[in-house]
Amino acid sequence: MEVFPVPAPCFAVVLALCLLGLPANAQTPPASHGAGPRPIELKEERGEKAPEVFISPGRSTTLMFDAELLRTAEGRDTVTLEKREAFALVDAGLMTLRLIPSEGVKPGDRLRLTVQFDGRAAPSGAAFTLVVHAVQAEPMVEVYRNARPVESYQQEAKEALAKAAQCHDELKRTQAERSEPGGLRSLLAAKQMDKGGVTPKDLFEAVTKPPGNALVTQKVWAYRAAGRVAVGLELDGLANAPPFVVAGAALIGRRGTELKVLPVWSSGPIKADPSNPGRVVVEAEATTEDARGPYTLKLWEDGTGRTVILGNVMFP
């Protein structure tokens, strides 16, 4: 079935394929976090594996400690950070460390970070492995050098229950969608088709395509329906490059806010074949206000660091 360009009714079929779970590459985020900061408890045992913290170019990650960080007599921080020159910001406060990596770090990089604590209590310092991801970063991490307060455990348990409830609701929704009819009937049954129908917009000329993308963009269409937006793509692989397997996607607004992206649908591994481009559909939940944009669309592949980035994505 040809996806692009498509009149409004035909897109419902494409969207239904996504909702009904036909062959797709599922989102594979690097870590799953609740609404609050992720806690890390430091161990005194030597040889303990350094905890991992996920960072991403241009996105802020703050580590919050329950002890003061050591500074030199001149007032300088004692933080050691691999490829520190590739970070746009390394801001060590009294009990916090804020990091913003630049584009100088690449997805898949693993960088060592160490901090030293003031005073003589153990442990005297801590080491972390910063894992660079194409899109996703942990905005905040709590690091406990001392005994973790009971309130922290209670908050973590509360967030785990909320996450379990969310997963349960998503499972029920998926099961309900699988039991619904296909095609236009699916959108009507899910109340995702209002009197405006599904509105398409050709974005090929409007989007920005920075150098370094792992795929060649052939076609880009944006769509909006009741409570949903989507981007449809036709992509071609680069010559002599291995096939690109879409692992996940993100739609990021100007202020760093992200739309809730549903599992990404793709036609399969994308290789260099202009006559048979790979097809990808990225769908997200969005109100009319959310859909105004502009957004940056990012696709990534697990384990290779290869990405596709399209800027100035505007929905109809």
CATH number of the domain that 99 lies in?
2.60.40
Cβ atoms 210, 311 nearer than 8 A: yes
- Computed over every residue of the chain, the mean pLDDT equals 80
Residue 303 resides in a domain: yes
The model's pTM is 0.64
Q: Is residue 258 part of a domain?
A: yes
Q: Does any domain span residue 45?
A: yes
* Residue 110 within any structural domain of the chain: yes
| Pair 51, 15 in one domain | no
Domain count for the chain: 2
197 and 81 co-located in one domain: no
Per-residue pLDDT, 181: 43
Examine the domain organization and report whether 16 and 64 are in the same domain.
no
- Portion of the chain with pLDDT greater than 90, in percent: 47
Q: How far apart are CA 261 and CA 250, in angstroms?
A: 6
Examine residue 192 and state whether it is found in any structural domain, yes or no.
yes
Give the domain extent around 132.
38-148
81-95, 164-178, 242-256, 268-282: which range is least confident on average?
164-178
Domain for residue 225, yes or no? yes
The first and second tokens of residue 150, run together, are 């009971």
Indicate if 122 and 60 belong to the same structural domain: yes
Q: Helix or strand or coil: residue 215?
A: strand
Which is more confident, 14 or 172?
172
One domain, residues 108 and 221? no
The C-alpha angle with vertex 255 and arms to 82 and 197, in degrees rounded to 5, equals 130
Tens of pLDDT, residue by residue over 152-201, are 667 667 777 777 776 777 666 655 555 444 554 555 555 665 666 677 89
Residues 130, 111: Cα–Cα separation, whole Å = 5
Name the domain boundary from 126, 148, 170: 148
